[in-house]
Amino acid sequence: MSESNDHLSTEKALLEEVNQKPLLSRWGTFAKLSGPGWLQGAITLGGGSLAGSLYLGVIGGFELLWLQPLMMIFGVLMLSVIAYVTLSTGEKPFRAINKHINPVLGWGWLIAAMLANLVWAMPQFSLGTAAIQQNFGVLDGEWGNHICAILLFLIGGAVVWAYDSGSKGIKIFEIILKVMVAVVVLSFFGVVVVMAKDLDWGSILTGFIPNPGLLFEPASKFTEIIAQSSNPDYWREVILSSQRDRMVTAAATAVGINMTFLLPYSMLRKGWGKEHRGLASFDLSIGLFLPFFLATTCVVIASASQFHTKFDEGLLDASKSTALTAKLEGAYNKNLDAFKAQIELGAEPKEIDKQLAAMLVSRDSGQLAGSLENLTGNKTVSQTVFGIGVLGMAVSTIIILMLINGFTVTEMLGAEIGGMKHKIGSILPGITGALGFLYLWSNADAKFWLAVPTSVFGMVLLPIAYITFFLMINNKSLMGTSLPKGGNRIILNIAMGVALIAATIGAAWSIWSKVQWTGVIAVGIFIGLAIIAHFARPKISD
């Protein structure tokens, strides 16, 4: 313990000295001391990011490359705010929110984070198993799913247990996570390198220019194709609705509610304080934003180049059918049947209508890896390189979901971080993830009743969490002498306001598209409870 305290004292003294130097000269020291930001990078690079990036490429091509980086910038800003508050006060955020802001907001934040951990572990086990079986071609026998689930659980549990063992375990844990994030990024970067000679780099660079007009118009390539169809209005609405839904959902979920819980507690676990505030912002930039930007950009580029306004010819010509075609037939027939229901009785869809129905089917990582075989000329290379990235995403996310849950359980029970209750809390997402994947996630009804309420609750709480952080950094009784002042405070509040508006629009759209009035009523009840708690709680003088 004394060795750990000596190390932390030395680190704080070093940061006090470095913080007086120009920005560029600080970065070398910051890079050596980074840690919690990489944990954020490990969780955000999960199945959700992969699926979101894949379909953004399918529906928007290169024209939507700007979306996820912009939303992540807003997310990094809000995470930096909660980091600043935590490091300035030294208080655990859950208790600080309950004491200084509102207990309903505090408990809602904790419960939403816990639900997200327990439910979203399931698709990570599914994603990891798919990578092992489809990309690597192993463990796909009768008991293959069970063996994969056990392996993923044991790996996640072992790594998290090492984290809970103390300062040396934390260091080892962070090294493992940095390596895993690097593997994910390098795998997807490698995919783009293989494709580089066939890519339109001018269109790719243009795609980073924000274009909110895509909320109201389909991507340009689809516009040209729609005009040739037998019912342009129908296809325009279908494509625009899908495009808008993917854009808004990506905006709402670039930073998940459980990520906002992880950051402050992982910093407190390391013993960080006021001296680490500059390091925290740098850490989020290189550990969260940079890996997220590189990985998701590479997936969008790969997906767009292979799938945007393109289709599997086997869907329209049985003689050209492949193993990949069979996985797309159900979605293709559903798209085509929906179109047929809109045209005159007895009329037949034109060839271009069939092509549009084929273009709009969802693809997964297996199909993308399969499509890359033509570029590499080697099935093993394309499947292995892509599979390493996908498996790295799944494993790193499972680990971080387990880690976050340990923090939520200790706060809920008032226990100590690192104790037995923390350890038990940590393995719960591993249990629900493995069992849920094996017995629930493949069932459409069970998946709906698990995923939809959790997703909606998390999306409701994300802008509410942002409001909470906004109130915290402007609360004098909490911040004391660390309260931002003058022009810096004005600029910060404006930036937070923009991030809050973006998260609120995204969350509102997602809630309405999933549960409509049920979601609106639930939001109203939650806000009503928060208002009652605000007036009922004892006032704290500034």
Report the pLDDT value the prediction gives residue 451, as an integer from 0 to 100: 61
Range with the lowest mean pLDDT among 66-80, 276-290, 402-416, 513-527? Answer: 513-527
The reported pTM is 0.83
Report the pLDDT value the prediction gives residue 448, as an integer from 0 to 100: 60
Is 240:216 a contact under the CB 8 Å cutoff?
Answer: yes
From CA 257, how far away is CA 467, in angstroms rounded?
13
Element (H, E) at 318: none
Question: Which of the four pLDDT bands, split at 50, 70 and 90, describes residue 242?
Answer: confident
Report the pLDDT value the prediction gives residue 356, as an integer from 0 to 100: 93
SS3 95: helix
435 has a pLDDT exceeding 90: yes
DSSP assignment of 226-240: HTTSS-HHHHHHHHH
SS3 389: helix
Interhelix angle 232-253/323-340, nearest 10 degrees: 120
Amino acid found at 51: A
415 has a pLDDT exceeding 70: yes
Report the pLDDT value the prediction gives residue 5, as an integer from 0 to 100: 65
Across the range 74-95, mean pLDDT stands at 91
Report the pLDDT value the prediction gives residue 389, as an integer from 0 to 100: 80
Report the pLDDT value the prediction gives residue 44, as an integer from 0 to 100: 82
Question: Which of the four pLDDT bands, split at 50, 70 and 90, describes residue 444?
Answer: low
From CA 263, how far away is CA 38, in angstroms rounded?
10
From CA 446, how far away is CA 444, in angstroms rounded?
6
In the chain, pLDDT over 90 holds for what percent of residues? 26
Q: Find the distance separating the first CA and the last CA of the chain, reported in whole Å.
A: 36
Q: What is the DSSP secondary structure assignment for residue 209, as one 8-state letter? A: S
417 has a pLDDT exceeding 60: yes
Burial of 226 (0-12, 13-18, 19+ CB in 10 A): buried
Paired tokens of 203: 């269109």
Report the pLDDT value the prediction gives residue 163, as an integer from 0 to 100: 75
From CA 38, how far away is CA 22, in angstroms rounded?
24
Question: Which of the four pLDDT bands, split at 50, 70 and 90, describes residue 238?
Answer: very high
Query: How far apart, in Å, are the Cα atoms of 465 and each of 20, 40, 94, 414, 433?
Result: 33, 17, 11, 21, 25
Query: How far apart, in Å, are the Cα atoms of 348 and each of 100, 225, 230, 339?
Result: 65, 18, 10, 10
493 has a pLDDT exceeding 80: yes
Is 254:44 a contact under the CB 8 Å cutoff?
Answer: yes
Report the pLDDT value the prediction gives residue 504, as an integer from 0 to 100: 85
From CA 327, how far away is CA 367, in angstroms rounded?
9
From CA 82, how far away is CA 424, in angstroms rounded?
26
How many residues comprise the chain? 542
From CA 179, how far away is CA 185, in angstroms rounded?
10
DSSP H helical ranges for 90-141: 93-96, 103-130
Is 462:451 a contact under the CB 8 Å cutoff?
Answer: no
453 has a pLDDT exceeding 80: no
From CA 483, how far away is CA 475, in angstroms rounded?
7
Report the pLDDT value the prediction gives residue 185, as an integer from 0 to 100: 83
Report the pLDDT value the prediction gives residue 503, as an integer from 0 to 100: 81
pLDDT in tens, 374-392: 555 556 666 777 788 888 8
165 has a pLDDT exceeding 80: no
Q: Return the closest-CA partner of residue 461 out of 96, 104, 123, 122.
A: 104
Q: What stretches of 156-311 adopt beta strand conformation (E)?
A: none
Across the range 332-343, mean pLDDT stands at 88
Interhelix angle 379-413/144-163, nearest 10 degrees: 50
Range with the lowest mean pLDDT among 43-52, 203-212, 255-264? Answer: 43-52
pLDDT in tens, 41-57: 888 877 777 777 888 89
Range 35-310+324-536: architecture per CATH: Up-down Bundle (1.20)
